[in-house]
Amino acid sequence: MSKTTELKIVSPEKAIMQTAVEMAILPGVDGDLGILPGHSSLVSSLRAGEIVIYNGGKVEQRLFVSGGFATINPTSISILAEEAINLATVNKETIQNQIDHETKMLDSLNDIDKILAQTRITNGQKMVELLDKSYYN
């Protein structure tokens, strides 16, 4: 059996990444999914949360996803994400400023825009939470 599985992440706008991974942890709607090479086939919805990529026995990359779907088989993981952001490229202060701005604007928005703003606020809060999380290798 191979020691890696192929991970492919795409969004509606673009291909985000394609790489070999030793393990990936995905934020499934019913709980986190740890995926190793040879995993049995399944399809899962993803909640807003973190994809953690392991290589060389340690965390190599962390991405925020706002939701989506994952298709898993013994040799690959395919993820269609609404949005995927490499957490190493995110500035916590910038995200917090965006949350504060969206929160101040809520009362002036119509119902549809208010729902969209609340989603951006929730996703921003989740990113801040994930940025505060550390991993020990």
Is 50 a domain residue?
yes
Residues 11 and 58 in one domain: yes
Query: CA end-to-end span of the chain, whole Å?
Result: 25
Can you give the CATH number for the domain in which 78 is found?
2.60.15.10
Residues 71 and 14 in one domain: yes
Residues 51 and 95 in one domain: no
Residue 105 token pair: 């604007």
50-103 pLDDT, tens per residue? Answer: 999 999 989 999 999 999 999 999 999 999 999 999 999 999 999 999 999 999
Q: Which of 51, 66, 87 marks a domain boundary? A: 87
The structure's pTM equals 0.87
- CA 78, CA 6: separation in Å to the nearest integer? 8
Question: What is the DSSP code (8-state) at residue 38?
Answer: T
The CA distances from residue 36 to 5, 27, 39, 116, 131, in Å, are 7, 15, 6, 35, 25
Structural contact between residues 66 and 48, judged by C-beta atoms closer than 8 angstroms: yes
Residues 25 and 56 in one domain: yes
- Parent domain of 25: 5-87
Residues 61 and 105 in one domain: no
24-58 pLDDT, tens per residue? Answer: 999 999 999 999 999 999 999 999 999 999 999 89
- CA 133, CA 115: separation in Å to the nearest integer? 27
Residue 101 token pair: 């701005």
Structural contact between residues 68 and 80, judged by C-beta atoms closer than 8 angstroms: yes
Residue 135 has pLDDT above 70, yes or no: no
Residues 60 and 102 in one domain: no
Is 15 a domain residue?
yes
Residues 9 and 30 in one domain: yes
Q: Number of structural domains, the chain?
A: 2
The CA distances from residue 96 to 85, 119, 133, in Å, are 16, 14, 16
Residue 113 has pLDDT above 50, yes or no: yes
